[in-house]
Amino acid sequence: MEQLFSYGTLQLEQVQKDTFGRKLTGQLDTLIGFELSEVEITDPQVLASSGKAFHPIVKYTGKQTDKVEGTIFHITAEELAQSDAYEVDDYVRVKAKFISGKQAWIYICAKSKRP
């Protein structure tokens, strides 16, 4: 089982159904050392699923005072690959540690520095 942190559109039920074919379950958690920003989406499939032209995106800062709230979802390895297909090239998937002590995959800004 994989763990994937979402702070944006992957929390939307419609996006989950379109991407994974089901509604996900998970726990609230907090990502430390990142700040929230946004990116304009142009991919027609992603736009149709989310209904939003601008999506949240996080950038690594390394500052303990920077925090992003979200949900850690439990997904299969196949679903992780499906989430990779959903995320556009502006995002890159990395592992991060959370306030709970858990580690999970997250999608961060591909142009930002990495943890």
Residue 96 belongs to domain with CATH number? 3.10.490.10
- Across the chain, mean pLDDT equals 94
Domain membership flag for residue 73: yes
Residue 91 lies in a domain: yes
Per-residue tokens: 14: 């419609």
**Which 3 state secondary structure label does DSSP give 34?**
strand
pLDDT over 90 (residue 20): yes
Mean local confidence (pLDDT), 20-48: 93
Domain that holds residue 41: 2-109
Sequence-distant (≥ 6) Cβ neighbours of residue 108 within 8 angstroms: 34, 57, 58, 59, 60, 91, 92, 94, 114
pLDDT in tens, 71-81: 999 999 999 99
Is the per-residue pLDDT at 88 higher than 90? no
pTM for the full predicted model:
0.90
Residue 27: both structure tokens together: 């726990």
